[in-house]
Structure 1
Amino acid sequence: MDEPCINESRRSDRALLSLYRLGKTLGFGSFGKVKLAHHVLTGHKVAIKILNRQMLNDSEIERVTREIKILRLFAHPHIIRLYEFIETRSNIYVVTEYINRGELFYYILEKGKVLEDEARYFFQQIISGVEFCHLNMVVHRDLKPENLLLDSEHNLKIADFGLSNVMRDGHFLKTSCGSPNYAAPEVLSGELYAGPEVDVWSCGVILYALLCGRLPFDVDNLPNLFKLIRSGIYTLPSHLSPGARDLIHRMLVVDPMKRIKIHEIRRHPWFIDHLPRYLALPAMQIAKQPIDILAILKQIDEEILQHVIEIGFDRNKVIESLQNRIQNEATVTYYLLWDNQFRISSSYLRAEFQEASDTYSSTSSITNHTLQQQGFTAGRKWLLGLQSQAPPIEIMTEVLRALQTLNVFWKKIGHYTMKCRWLPSFHSHSGTALSIPLHTNHTSVDDRAIVGDGGTGVLSHNAVKFEMQLYKAKGERYLLDLQMVHGSPLHFLEICAAFLTKLQVI
């Protein structure tokens, strides 16, 4: 694993100011402050944590280093994004994405308590981010509303990984850390723990705080607080639904061996109610192998790359830096552009999941479809949905084969998510698709290379761009969702009709 050291990027404070325009102070800490800033080359907002080196001891330096190492490898919609860190003689600057609504803690204080549907929406995002950490062998160990940041679209970001640690098979952790009110009984007792179970307990306390506007264990005297937590005695208000009560009871179990697991939370009826489509996908990705974060981060978006080149960076050097995970001005510019475009282009995934699957009949192949018009005006989209009971690997093999014959260029951005581009009336000189041949071995679909524009560099104003995602519905049914991102709605309908024909749906 290519891990950074704290002095990987040394620059002067003056050089920093040439890259970012510092704005207002967002907050203060024991060792420095957090300021709003604008990235000069892209104009996008970032948050910069400024730490005074002279006020940091060795353990605090270690904490900062640990957070940098972990965040540098993470790319998830509900985990704070690290863009770069800069070390000067006097300060350490940690540059992350800017989350404009602040801590969930203050949101709960303002609301008193959060309505159940809204609390569930937040909780689903938290569990998605925590699950992602655990799948990549990281335990947070300090989950609390103060470390959950909220943006203007009600999206949460898990932050502050300073107390997190890497889990290793067969090894247990013992460090007693985190905030006492959110710490699991085994942590307070100094017992050995594997890791995920302590995050589950903290998530249970957070869910309680969201729904009740107070903490389940909250007394001023620390010995009494520890005794209360170890006993697992708390009360639930009568206004909570049976589902919420059951889930909290199963999370706040003193015995870690009997405590509910993340994958069980994901299947809990209260959790899956109104589960957003983009959060339903990871449940299938647990398929017995960890997510290769480095491989995902090394994927290069040709359009974003072109923007970076237009700003003035050398194409070959940018590609080399991205592939080798080198932090420099070019890669920071690339990721800022990528993140902001991704938030816009995939915002439809954040819409609540509509139980459209109830309108479909059960089939053993892709035989049913719906086409829903949402308007021609800017910001509106066209949706196409397909349903199947076939195994996901077979569905994707058939889908990719159809896309290939239609000269659709695609790029895999997740195990079951792709960006696609189609040029109307475009054919290669040979009359065949400009993509690599598909293998017939079904087990190789997830390992297949990312397909971009076939190296042709062909771009067109008439191009139709759309995203495709396979996610699980009720039972053993899977839904394939196509979403237009850019282009003519009529051309999108044209490629949809051709796609359905290739799949023998119509």
Structure 2
Amino acid sequence: NTRGGGHSEALKNYNVGRTLGIGTFGKVRIAEHKHTGHKVAIKILNRRQMRTMEMEEKAKREIKILRLFIHPHIIRLYEVIYTPTDIFVVMEYCKYGELFDCIVEKGRLQEDEARRIFQQIISGVEYCHRNMVAHRDLKPENLLLDSKYNVKLADFGLSNVMHDGHFLKTSCGSPNYAAPEVISGKLYAGPEVDVWSCGVILYALLCGTLPFDDDNIPKLFKKIKGGIYILPSHLSALARDLIPRMLVVDPMKRITIREIREHPWFQNRLPRYLAVPPPDTAQQAKMIDEDTLKEIVNLGYDKDHVCESLCNRLQNEATVAYYLLLDNRFRATSGYLGADYLQSMGRSFNQFTSSESASPSTRQYLPASNDSQGSGLRPYYPVERKWALGC
């Protein structure tokens, strides 16, 4: 029983459950994949509403981008189902919801916890940039936590599409994380905008507050454009060195993702799997996990058909089942994180185990910091290839 209001044929491979959240163009519902028994989140996007706002083609472009991505810290897109009335986007289910709610609930994180999360975020952002995609809407609301507290970059414009300079006209667009060049309406390449947003996120993780905030929007913009914020005294010396290098007003002098990776604060306790950049999407398509392949064959799928579909990046029942099994195998073995770390994270985040969500509909706000001046310079190398923009 899909309980999905007329979606039974389109979602015949899923048992659709309760609504997790409601967005601009539709809702997100939890579902169980019938063949594997694993949970997914299904975004149901209403095509009529999207056409009214001239967003359907944009959503299709973003889906095309996300289909290419295979990364442990980017939300997995399993399949997209089109009907005359709706677009069903079947995605990885993140049990513990938004990183935003974690920060609101806990306040500032211990530096080791914040670093682990930040390392995962930067790994995902770097992967996007290597594939010529700039997210442009990075914020804790768009960073989800799976059942093992791994971070997943999400919302590449699938349901929360914004136009440049229109932050105040959408419910999802927060200017608090936007770079000075964005709110000023200046031209920008893309990656340096994500670096600024990552700087704001790191500040929020370590401080439990936002560096730039004001109920008066002109005053908020003035703070952002001036780089006016305060670094709390409780931060370590290395954290106090890294954050200002990311929150440099001039994008040409802002630290790059590569330089963030090389920073001593970032390098501390860096997991082995994050020490080396992941292969590109073409290489990844040829990497097939033998144990998962055996499992998928045991479910009745043809081995040659599965391998051919995976190598050609096709979407069909076999590839959906394969990636669901692969992702859940990863989580079942504690993924990339050690057992000791997961145990400590479980203690730190145990208040979130009672609620499962992918996109909470209620919204709280992080408190603001006081004013001060931050500065830091790093050389910048320009991007020459054409970038795909996330929002």
TM-score with structure 1 length normalisation?
0.61
Using the TM superposition, give the Cα deviation of residue 132 of structure 1 relative to its aligned residue in structure 2, in angstroms: 0.9
Rounded Cα–Cα distance in structure 2 between residues aligned with 1:325 and 1:204: 34
Partner of 2:15: 21
1:330-389 Cα offsets, whole Å, 9 max, x none, are 111111112222334573x422999xxxxxxxxxxxxxxxxxxxxxxxxxxxxxxxxxxx
Residue number among 287, 305, 326 corresponding to 1:338 in the alignment:
326
In structure 2, distance between residues paired with 1:234 and 1:25: 39
Pick the structure with more strand per residue.
1
Question: Who is 1:247 aligned against?
Answer: 242
Distance in 1 (CA, whole Å) between partners of 2:96 and 2:191 is: 28
Q: Aligned with 2:251: secondary structure?
A: coil
- Give the number of the structure whose alpha-carbon radius of gyration is greater: 1
- 1:452-491 → structure 2 map (5 Å cutoff): none
C-alpha distance in 2, partners of 1:294/1:33? Answer: 32
Whether the 8 Å CA contact 2:46–2:85 is kept in 1: the answer is: yes
Change (3 A) 1:343 1:152: closer
User: Residue by residue, what CA displacement relative to the aligned partner does 1:194-249 show, whole Å, maximum 9, x if unpaired?
Assistant: 11110000000001111111111101122221111101111122111111111111
Equivalent positions of 1:235-384 (< 5 A) are 235-282=230-277, 291-345=279-333, 347=335, 349-351=336-338
Q: Contact conserved, 2:148 with 2:334, CA < 8 A, in 1?
A: no
1:121-132 equivalences in 2 (<5 Å) = 121-132=116-127
- Corresponding residue for residue 31 of structure 1: 25
Aligned pairs for 1:441-452 within 5 A: none
- Cα deviation, residue 59, structure 1: 3.2
Partner of 2:189: 194
- How far residue 90 of structure 1 moved from its aligned partner, in angstroms, is 2.0
Deviation (angstroms), 1:47: 0.5
1:212 and 2:212 are equivalent in the alignment: no
**Are 2:70 and 1:94 equivalent residues in the alignment?**
no
1:146 correspondence with 2:141: yes
The counterpart of 2:114, out of the listed 111, 119, 130, is 119
Contact kept? 1:141, 1:163, Cα under 8 Å: no
Report the counterpart of residue 56 of structure 2 in structure 1: 61
CA distance in 2, matches of 1:151, 1:304: 20
Contact 1:13 1:88 in 2 (8 A): no
Q: Does structure 2 retain, via aligned residues, the 8 Å contact 1:274–1:352?
A: no
What root-mean-square deviation, in Å, do the aligned CA atoms of Structure 1 and Structure 2 show?
2.2
The separation in 2 between residues aligned to 1:295 and 1:54, in whole angstroms, is: 38
Pairwise CA distance, 1:294: 2.5
2:227, 2:248 within 8 Å by CA — same for their partners in 1? yes
Q: Do the aligned residues in 2 keep the contact of 1:102 with 1:151 (CA within 8 Å)?
A: yes
Change (3 A) 1:261 1:55: same
Deviation, structure 1 residue 14? 2.3
SS at match of 1:42: coil
Residues 202 and 251 of structure 1: CA distance in aligned 2, closer, same or farther (over 3 Å)? same
**Higher RCO (CA 8 Å, separation ≥ 6 residues):** 2
* Number of positions where the alignment pairs a residue of Structure 1 with one of Structure 2: 326
CA distance in 2, matches of 1:61, 1:179: 22
Q: Return the alpha-carbon distance in structure 1 between the equivalents of residues 90 and 54 of structure 2.
A: 21
Equivalent residue for 2:71? 76
CA gap of 1:137–1:233, structure 2 versus 1, over 3 A, is same
- When residues 163 and 305 of structure 1 are mapped into structure 2, their CA distance, relative to the original with a 3 A threshold, is closer
Q: Is the 8 A contact 2:94 2:144 kept in 1?
A: yes
Where does the alignment leave 5 or more consecutive residues of structure 1 unmatched?
1-11, 165-173, 286-290, 355-506
Indicate how the Cα distance of structure 1 residues 250 and 163 shifts in structure 2: closer, same or farther if over 3 A, else same: farther
Looking at structure 1, the residues matched to 293 and 32 of structure 2 have their Cα atoms a distance apart, in angstroms, of 21
CA contact (8 A) 1:84 1:95 kept: yes
Contact kept, 8 Å, 2:111 with 2:206, in 1: the verdict is yes
**How far apart, CA to CA, are the structure 1 residues paired with 2:57 and 2:139?**
21
Identity %: 65
CA distance in 2, matches of 1:134, 1:236: 28
> Which whole-Å CA distance do the structure 1 matches of 2:146 and 2:80 have between them?
22
Within 2, Cα distance between the matches of 1:163 and 1:34? Answer: 12
Q: 1:50 aligns with which of 44, 48, 52?
A: 44
Alpha-carbon offset, residue 94 of structure 1: 0.3
Could you tell me how far apart the structure 2 residues matched to 1:311 and 1:151 are?
Answer: 25
Give, as a single letter, the amino acid of the residue that structure 2 aligns with 1:40. K
Q: Which amino acid aligns with 1:191?
A: K
